Structure 1
Amino acid sequence: MVGVAVLAATVLTVTAVAPAPAAAHGARPVPHVVGTGTVPVYSYAEAIRESVWVEAPMDSDGDGVRDRIAVDLVRPREAAAAGVRVPVIMDASPYYQCCGRGNESEVKRYDANGLITSFPLFYDNYFVPRGYAFAAVDLSGTSRSTGCEDVGGRAEVTGAKAVIDWLNGRARGFTADGTPVQATGWTTGRVGMIGKSWDGSVANGVAATGVPGLATIVPISAISSWYGYQRFNGVLRASDYPAYLHSYVNGRPAEACAATLARLRADSAEETGDYNAYWAERDYRTAAGRVRASVFMVHGINDLNVPTSQFALWWEALAERGVPRRIWIHQTGHEDPFDVRRAEWVRTLHRWFDHWLQGLRNGVQWEDRASIETSPGVWRDEPDWPARGARPVRVALGGGDGTTGTIGGRGARPGTVFSYTDESLGEDELVTDPNTARAGRLAFLSGPLTGPLRISGSPSVRLRIRVDRPTTELTARLVDYGTATRINHFASEGVRTLSTESCWGEASPTDDGCYRDTAEITATGDHAVLTRGWLDAAHHTSLRFTTPLRPGRWYTVDIPLDAYEAVVPAGHSLGLVLGQSDPEFTNVDDRDATVDVDLAASRLTLPAVGRVSLPAVTVAPQVRTESTATIRSDPVDPRRVPDRGRSTRD
């Protein structure tokens, strides 16, 4: 370890604690509670470490035996000896052996007897001394669990749910030798699920079952609908994607899960891109009404792995049902807040769990719902998200000079048509030099903004089109043209790993809770793509079936763009760029289609806050750009695993 900067507040060992009021779950006063917060009074080094296999109510590998889900636990020994029951923080993951967790790709480690000796991440080091247990759960078919990993499906969610049932006395658990074991003697049964990416997606799925005992979830960069992750409105993100993800994390012999793999390939309907029963099973938003847990979600607004629609639509569904919730939105990519805003994250998470799991009245539930990074390292708390006062503003498209169209003003005259033919352009080719005629795209520009323009929510584009093929991929990008220093999320998701360390919690001889410090990566550039959207034109009527287009006929189609939060400064120009096949982000399928766009019947809709300062222009301004490739260090790969740890060598 190098350059250790230990935070005394996080490693303090308390030797004498004044009597504390009982937590709201009702027992007697407990030594780990002082006032409205928990304090580190228990030894992490001496904590109880054990493994349990929980029986799930299904046989996903078809071997005639119910799946058994491996759970590695660490809990305070002194609390158990005193009969003090503790709540559980749980991270259910497919990554504990194959790939690792966190920025340093930590895996679980065991001694020669199979006893867990080291847990990934800081949750155990920090929270166990404060009167919590931590459970690291292997998803079905991964690591030491039996069954088969079905990528967001029933086996995955039911297996993780079974662990909560076991913690509440409703399911059976066994040691490695088959001895029955119960948890009801040491836990309150209150569980908080947390995790980044796939782990957070499982938390969403389990919350959508309404399982009693799950008090809160903290989904970070998480999926709420696997269709929206692997299909962009009918467009394939990548071929054979469900099978690829299954194979990436599979911990079973190939023959054990061959049938599951075959079902993933057959049922996901790659040949059509349709939303069907397979995807409905993996769409947690449809069950938002069952959610009993509070939700604290975190997402990077520039996450190109798990698109921002995944948090925005889930947030909207929960809001409609009055679910207690909170959100952090940062400007990096697919990142954990521990590596973006570390000290404040640990402090806030601690208070969140103290309230929802320990029952402490610390007021965290009454604070502003949203915390938003407005520029690199600058944060603002707000009552809600999207921002209060955000409203859909329709913006007309104009013909401009016939090469570059315009945004704003009265728009084009009836009968103004722009046409473009598919060229499978990469993003750099699409958005640079918008005043230059370039085959395969259409570009529209506003005049220089007369004031700052805040976008808060989900934009969309409505197009009146005529296509000479039965379908084509339609893409849209909203671009900020103007020089600024921004988070460079193309470089290691926008976060650099430093050589110094800080420690968060207590240590054992095999698990020290110390992690490399991080810093955001910035770059100064003359433009930035804010948000993107895709649509298979044959899915313009419904995502459940295709409606092939008839050449020569006009259709109205809507392209939803991913949610965004930004302020475009005064003097910058806002751009809308349309393309077709998108080789960097989706499965390339160049159909050579020609698309005619009726500008007078087309528009951009912006979720704008306050006054919209788009000047009415009839000719697009001259905008000059450089290639964004000069700042990219990570290629955009459409077939991504929903988490990729960064190396400490970044």
Structure 2
Amino acid sequence: MKNNQFAIETVDKATEQKELRAIHFIDQTVDKLTDPVAVWQVLLDKTFLQAKNQTVLYQKLNNYLATPQLALGDFFERNEALTNEIFYRVALQLLEFDVDSDFDLNDPLAALKKIQLTFVSEPIQTKADLLHAWYLLLCTHTKNGQTYLDKLAQDGYFMPFYAQTTAPLFFNGKAQAVFDPHQLIRDVVYVEAPLDTDKDSQRDLLKVEILRPKQTETGYQAPVLYTASPYNQGINDEAGSKMMHNVDVPLKAKEPRNVSYEEIRYHEPTPELPKKRVIKGEQKEADETFAMESPYTLNDYFLTRGFAVVYAAGIGTKDSDGIRDTGGVAETASTIAVIEWLAGNRTAFTNKTDNIAIKAWWSNGKIAMTGRSYLGTLATAAATTGVAGLKTVVSEAAISSWYDYYRDGGLVAAPDTFQGEDMDVLATEVFSRMQNPGDYLKIKDFFNQVLAVMTKDQDRETGNYSRYWDERNYLNNVSKIKADMIMVHGLNDWNVKPRNVGNLWNALRDVPVTKKLILHQGQHIYVNAFRSLDFTDMMNLWFSHELFGIENHAKELLPDVLIQDNVEPETWRTYEDWQSPQAKRQTFNFEAKELVPESVPVRSAAASFSDHLDDETFDFYKKHLAVWQRDLLTTNHDTTGENRLRDNRLIFKTSQYDQDIYIDGRVQLKIRVAVNEPFGMLSFQLVDYGDAQRLTVSPTVLAAKSLSGTYDWRRDNLREFTRQKESTPWKMITNGHINLQNRHNNYQVDELKPNDFYDLTLELQPTFYHLLKGHQLGLVVYATDFGTTIRGNQELQYSLQINQCQLSLPLK
């Protein structure tokens, strides 16, 4: 394995000793000692929390080896000298690395270097040397994905601190688990939003669930991690399934329209609102509590470290007012209304009837937003308002423009595995007011009217970008962002596709906030419980700085761009940028089945493919998308004989590369194409061809329910991408789609004459990809994408004038 730690702050030895005293490793006993071996024994004694007497402690110590032939307890009995080899031989065992399989007992220092663990290279000869080595050991990750200090916290080290804790305790710039999670206070309040989305002549009230430390009752004010989750109060799976759209419909010719962006730009209206509720009183304590929220394990980690956590589902959800309107400005307004209340700038009530106000008196007014997918999307949306109190956002797999989620290049383009879903379907799924029948009765007819308008405005007929989509494009307001931004995204996420984070990263270049980017090899996942990366520690360093004001060099220590390698397991590399405009480019011309360097003359003139399949094959592929993908990319015969897609795509390959390359950014295509009808579409996949044991598509669970960072608290699975057991012949790197009538942009519609050739330029989804020496790069050109586009199965014939086609590759 490889350890990648970025959140270790370098401090002077005086600070190290001060912090070791604060967490009780240095005490009066240690103060009286001078011998480093004796100090080491006292420190170790404090870590064996299960031992209640010296007999058990000696027994525990002898489970470890100080030398290849001598147990640790016996080592202390003999009073032998301490060496770096002895200290780190024991350290590796304390860090849960296995003898022989993970390290050689005879050479522990070599293992430290190979695993990339932090250690001191100078001889450990004095008490000060020993304390320095111990401090770094507490900051170092175990084999099982947490710092040694967090492992001790999970074993119960900080339990004695609970009774005396009145404020956060920081070690190495990070908040520690000194707050008892079993003493959390759980409140429900109802924030009054500046909205009346259900048109009942009252401002919408939004249910907010709060978890805060008990210490807030006695004067402590906590910073807040706020997750806006439309799923928090439940989802309507069955209702959503009934709303799914049929995708087996024909592509149609669109009426040409020459429009400018100004004609479809969204301008926010200023609707008249009902007056605010008349406050009839104020109280400090909430009227309502709750048993269990829908948690995020990263938030759970921070609940024991002095942070409060807030969840709100927003308008149109169970126990809240309003209706859902996916991605609209009202949804953003409901999201930031909670922030405004937490920062002291908006009113909330103890219940929905009595108009008794309640303040967030326990909040220090500094808020961070967290969450993945729709949750991260709302965090991004909130940031683009510049709302006061929002200090930072950690958005994972977040949408930056809803058009880029449900559309692509003038086409209806489903997120991965959700063929037929759209804005109206998602609104139905999260409209959890349905789950309170009495409440739903009042709003059902109005919501159905709103849903009908949404279905019309989302416009599955054309797939064009419009004023409706412009309202839901958060990139329009990036210049308003005041919060520091951390963006996390999977390079293999075909649900929220990489263009969403790529466009946001580019848009933030000139915005005067700190921005960080983490790109992993996952699909649509969280990465806070991965073995190879100290993501949780990084966020602890970040939040401790942003919300507590700790000067811990977080902005300097965390890399601007951190990317997980797709070839070497557990390898993360730092970069200054992603998709740099100054990237070097390698250009290829199309040749018959080949991609040749731009300098090579092209002989071939044309190539063609069909988009029609016989009914039996078409129906088979609809039900077996993995087989469709295999046949699409495979150039040889499948197990049943002839490849059924051989006439339905073109494949162009480079020669084998003579060295590794790194693709960094957006692959650009110039295509000259004709189709036999006045409508058409093209799809593209860039592919790595070459046998290799690639990383698993989904992370492997290494240890189930093993991580919490706190004693007797909620646990998460330790995960990691591992090598597949079998070699695979290819891997899709990135893709893209375009309607041939939207060849200039997503809102202008051009005429398309049958059999006339047209030039178009497009960019595939941005990527970062390590292509191995000996592999080939391939471009697959086709039309219907069974997993993404509509599937008309029409008699369409496409021709490429390949001597006028090019591929431009951005290289790191």
Counterpart of 1:515 in structure 2 is 716
Superposed displacement of residue 392, structure 1: 4.9
1:593 deviation in Å?
2.4
What SS class does the counterpart of residue 338 from structure 1 fall into?
A: coil
Q: Which of 382, 405, 416 in structure 1 is aligned with 2:574?
A: 382
Give distance in 2, aligned partners of 1:482 and 1:601.
27
- Offset of 1:411 from its aligned partner? 4.9
Question: Are 2:398 and 1:398 equivalent residues in the alignment?
Answer: no
For residues 589 and 373 of structure 1, the distance between their equivalents in structure 2, rounded to whole angstroms, comes to: 38
Whether 1:9 aligns to 2:153 is: yes
1:43 equivalent to 2:245? Answer no
1:476 to 673, 677, 684: 684
Alpha-carbon distance in structure 2 between the residues aligned to 1:52 and 1:97 = 14
1:135 has 2:310 as partner: yes
- The equivalent of 1:91 in structure 2 is 227
- CA deviations on 1:111-166 (whole Å, 9 max, x unpaired) are x9752445512244322332211001112212332211211112221111100111
Q: Which residue does 2:429 correspond to in 1?
A: 248
Give the corresponding residue for 1:157: 332
- 1:115 corresponding residue in structure 2: 290
Size of the aligned set, in residue pairs, is 576
User: What aligned pairs does 1:489-568 form with structure 2 within 5 A after superposition?
Assistant: 489=697, 494-497=698-701, 500-506=704-710, 512-520=713-721, 522-523=723-724, 524-568=727-771
For residues 346-372 of structure 1, give each alpha carbon's deviation from its aligned partner in whole angstroms, at most 9, with x where no partner exists. Answer: 111111111111111111211321221
Correspondence for 2:612 among 403, 423, 432: 423
- The structure with more strand, counted as a fraction of residues: 1
Could you say which residue in structure 1 is the equivalent of 2:363?
Answer: 187
Deviation of the 1:580 alpha carbon: 0.5
Instruction: Please give the residue correspondences for 1:296-315 in structure 2 after superposition, counting only pairs within 5 Å.
Output: 296-315=486-505
Equivalent position SS for 1:378: coil
Query: Which among 376, 385, 388 is matched to residue 212 of structure 1?
Result: 388
1:332 alignment counterpart: 522
Partner of 2:652: 444
Decide which of 417, 426, 432 is 2:634's aligned counterpart: 432
Select between 270-279 and 173-182 the one with higher mean Cα deviation. Answer: 173-182
Question: Which of 450, 454, 461 does residue 669 from structure 2 map onto?
Answer: 461
Pick closer, same or farther for the CA change 1:507–1:343 going to 2, 3 Å. Answer: farther
Cα distance change of structure 1 residues 212 and 539 upon mapping to structure 2, 3 Å threshold: same
**C-alpha contact 2:532 2:720 (8 A) present in aligned 1:** no
SS at match of 2:811: strand
Contact 1:484-1:525 at 8 Å conserved across structures: yes
C-alpha separation in 2, matches of 1:185 and 1:418: 70
Offset from partner CA, 1:30-87 (integer Å, 9 cap, x none): 5434573322332221122101111111111222222211110011121441x23221
Conservation of the 8 A alpha-carbon contact between 2:486 and 2:516? yes
Q: Kindly indicate whether the alpha-carbon contact (under 8 Å) linking 1:90 and 1:135 is maintained by their aligned counterparts in 2.
A: yes
1:76–1:131 contact (8 Å) kept in structure 2: yes
Give the corresponding residue for 1:53.
Answer: 190
Q: 1: distance between equivalents of 2:290 and 2:646? A: 62
What CA distance in whole angstroms lies between the structure 2 residues aligned with 1:117 and 1:245?
24
Query: Helix, strand or coil for the counterpart of 1:595?
Result: strand
Max Rg structure: 2
- What's the counterpart of residue 236 of structure 1? 412
Deviations 1:209-240 (A, max 9, x none): 11111111111111111101000111112446
Write the distance in 2 (CA, Å) between the matches of 1:499 and 1:128.
Answer: 23
Q: Which amino acid aligns with 2:184?
A: A
The answer to whether the 8 A contact 1:276-1:544 is kept is: yes
Q: What displacement does 1:315 show?
A: 0.9
What amino acid sits opposite 1:160 in the alignment? T
Q: Deviations over 1:566-608 (max 9, x none)?
A: 1111111110110011112222133432222122221111111
Structure 1 letter corresponding to 2:570: V
Asked if 2 retains the 8 angstrom alpha-carbon contact of 1:454 and 1:608, the reply is yes
1:350 counterpart residue number: 540
User: 2:656 is aligned with what amino acid?
Assistant: P
Q: Give per-residue Cα distances to partners, 1:238-265, cap 9 Å, x unaligned.
A: 4461111112222123435212211210
Q: Does 1:607 align with 2:797?
A: no
Q: Aligned with 1:216: secondary structure?
A: strand
When the two structures are superposed, what TM-score results if normalisation uses the length of structure 2?
0.67
Using the TM superposition, name which of 242-251 and 338-347 deviates more.
Answer: 338-347
Give the Cα separation in 2 of the matches to 1:485 and 1:178: 63
CA RMSD of aligned residues (A): 2.9
Letter in 1 for 2:658: T
Asked if the contact 1:398–1:411 (Cα under 8 Å) also holds between the matched residues in 2, the reply is no
Contact map agreement 1:50 1:74 (CA 8 A) in 2: yes
- Structure 1 counterpart of 2:596: 407
Partners of 1:411 and 1:256 in 2: how far apart? Answer: 64
Counterpart residue number, 2:48: none
1:562 and 1:582 mapped to 2: Cα distance? 15
- Tell me how far 1:521 sits from its aligned partner: 5.2
Paired residues of 1:297 and 1:326 also in contact (CA < 8 A): yes
Which segments of 5 or more consecutive residues in structure 2 lack a partner in the other structure? 1-143, 237-286, 415-419, 434-439, 614-620, 622-627, 638-642
The aligned counterpart of 1:586 is 789
Correspondence for 1:268 among 455, 458, 461: 458
Contact (CA 8 Å) 1:122, 1:505: kept in 2 or not? no
SS at 1:319's partner residue? coil
Give the whole-Å Cα distance in 2 for the aligned partners of 1:458 and 1:587.
25
Secondary structure of the structure 2 residue equivalent to 1:141: coil
**Kept in 2: contact 1:127–1:505 (CA 8 A):** no
Whole-Å Cα distance in 1 between the matches of residues 151 and 668 of structure 2? 46
SS at match of 1:273: coil
Q: Is the partner of 2:545 in helix, strand or coil?
A: helix
Letter in 2 for 1:583: F
Deviations 1:459-502 (CA, angstroms, capped at 9, x unpaired): 1211012222222121111111101122232xxxx124466322
1:12 Cα deviation (Å)? 4.0
3-state SS of 1:228 partner: helix
* Residues 53 and 608 (structure 1), Cα distance of their counterparts in 2 relative to 1, 3 Å cut: same
Cα distance in 2 for residues equivalent to 1:555 and 1:474: 12
- Contact 2:209–2:293 (CA under 8 A) maintained in structure 1: no
Q: Following the alignment from structure 2 to structure 1, what is the Cα–Cα distance between the partners of residues 673 and 358? A: 62
CA contact (8 A) 1:423 1:439 kept: no
For residues 395-429 of structure 1, give each alpha carbon's deviation from its aligned partner in whole angstroms, at most 9, with x where no partner exists: 222323xxx23332435537712222223783322
Once the two structures are overlaid, the 10-residue window that deviates more, 69-78 or 341-350, is 341-350
1:357 alignment partner, SS class: helix
Task: Name the CA distance, whole Å, in 2 between partners of 1:377 and 1:388.
Answer: 25
Amino acid aligned to 1:251: S
Q: Is 1:32 equivalent to 2:169 in the alignment?
A: yes
Matches within 5 A, 1:173-184: 173-176=348-351, 178-184=354-360
Cα gap change, 1:487 to 1:38, in 2 (>3 Å): same
Letter in 2 for 1:428: R
Mapped contact 2:301–2:708 kept (Cα < 8 A)? yes
Residue in 1 that maps onto 2:82: none
- State the alpha-carbon separation in 2 of the partners of residues 422 and 412 from structure 1: 30
Q: Distance in 2 between matches of 1:210 and 1:363?
A: 24
Larger RCO of the pair (alpha carbons < 8 Å, separation 6+): 1
Equivalent-residue separation in structure 2 for 1:47 and 1:395 (angstroms): 59
